[in-house]
Amino acid sequence: MAKLIVNVGSTSVKTQLFDDALQVKAILNADYGATNGLSVEGVNVQGSKILHHDETIHDAKNTLAFLFQRWQQLLADNQLELSAMGHRVVHGGAMFKSITRITPDVLTQIAKLDNYAPLHNPLNRLGIEMAEELFANVPQFAVFDTAFHRQIPGYAGRYAIPEKLSANVDFYRYGFHGISCQHSVNAATKLLNKSPDALNVIILHLGGGASATAVKNGISVDTSMGFSPTEGLIMASRCGDIDPMIAITLQREGKTVDDINRLLNKQSGLQGICGETDMRTILSRAEQGDNASELALQLFCYRVKKYIGAYFAILNGKVDALIFTGGIGENAPAIRQRILDDLTGLGFSLDSNLNSQRFSSNIDVSDTSSRSRILVIHAEEEREIAQQIMYS
């Protein structure tokens, strides 16, 4: 028996097969957003690499059809049977607070949330619908990125605007990266040998999208992303926190709603500052003296520091650990160093030698004098979904 986890994005689909011991049996990941066609890579049950490229342009539906057909063949060839399938769903609104077994009524409710995450939820739903058709007898589960943050208190979640401004959506700080945050909490409890309900941490999920989350006694009490993933930290191409009058001023100057949406989500952040989204390239250019890249690094790390300070105050200075996760958080020691420079007053002291090392497992990179531990944790959203299915 095995569990197949499906994570559908706007330009990629990630799928992993787990056994009942939560060991990865096989992986198939596809990039379909490029103009040169579909690229698939992974590892089969025997550990051999899978590589495939098709120059035909694929959309999400064609990509899912290809991957699901390959999974059906892989399962048959290895005499494996699925006990469940799990799907990452970006937005669960106020109604979904935990892992949920998919039924027709649940799918109808998820469809009502398309206006909350128009770029992601319809694609997540497509993955569920196709899985139900092609794997008809397999139980399907949805795990929501917003669910981890559903216990945020009203004073942290409410915007200072009138209620019921829209007939289609409720404006609230829903937060995202919740699946990654839950995995980080679970991993931190093992590293620190503490129970979740006694754990206070600040989680920095730093990647193409970036967020900070304050966790008190194992529960999210505040997070930097809000109604949409655009709020909060500076990201690859998202602006993060800005004065809302900037958008209004641009509209008055003739920019359309689509123009402004594209600007804030696709042309801002690191991209808007230095013309590059890949942190590795930005670090390299900064080392070579590129002023725009250096400014991008300064702005990125400064914004993270501000959120660390804010969440340190919210947790009343009782922080068991500061957690770095996500592509940048895990793989950019120079960014971790920059963020933690001058934060010894808050009790965060980094071991520079440990921090600079490559590692394959979760690790504590704090100095022995650090009052709070500094953890680097691999983001494993698919594993977290599989685990939630196991214990549901």
Question: Catalytic residue among 31, 77, 145, 278, which?
Answer: 145
Query: Is 59 known to be catalytic?
Result: no
β partners of residue 8: 13
Look up residue 171 and give its two tokens: 């404006």
Axis crossing angle, helix 333-340 with helix 279-287, rounded to the nearest 10? 70
- Between CA 218 and CA 336 the distance in angstroms is 23
Provide the residue type at 338 as one letter: R
- Between CA 97 and CA 175 the distance in angstroms is 12
- Between CA 357 and CA 369 the distance in angstroms is 19
User: CA angle at residue 119 from 118 to 123, to 5 degrees?
Assistant: 100
Residue 200: Cβ within 10 Å count = 21
Place of tokens 């009052």: 371
- Between CA 172 and CA 191 the distance in angstroms is 33
- Between CA 124 and CA 110 the distance in angstroms is 9
> Could you list the active site residues?
145
